Amino acid sequence: MFFLPVALFRRSSPVVAAGAATRRTAKDLRLGETGTICCLEDPEMALKLLEMGCVPGVKVRLSGRAPLGDPLMLVLGDQEYTLSVRASEAANILLKEEGAAHGGGSK
């Protein structure tokens, strides 16, 4: 199997927004915290995440984390679709800036 370095895609990615280096990702969510998907960073990983339901505009909530921090259990959308992803995959899910709504965790 042939693997390409992720950094190769990040440099040329058309979906990376300005200031993405400081943007929060699904990996950064605390247990019970909610965010809204803004965009997906790695074009190669984006297709896989889109197929699993990680579509821009969808709410995502961190509902669990394995004892060693990987994988993460995310709940997507209003229909409570549960998805387990690696921390490296969750780092590709960029969240919208929500102003003062940093506290999250309300459901």
pLDDT in tens, 37-82: 998 988 888 889 988 888 899 999 999 999 988 899 999 988 788 9
Mean predicted confidence (pLDDT) in 89-102 = 76
Q: Where are the domains of the chain?
A: 6-17+24-95
So what's the pLDDT on residue 88?
Answer: 92
Residue 5 has pLDDT above 90, yes or no: no
| C-alpha span between 35 and 32 (Å, rounded) | 10
Task: Write down the pTM of the prediction.
Answer: 0.69
Beta-bridge mates of residue 85: 72
- % of the chain surpassing 90 pLDDT: 41
Give the chain's mean pLDDT. 77
**Selecting from 3.40.630.30, 1.10.10.350, 1.10.260.40, 2.30.30.90, what CATH number does the domain 6-17+24-95 have?**
2.30.30.90
Residue showing tokens 């709940």: 75
φ and ψ at 90, to 5 degrees?
-65, -25
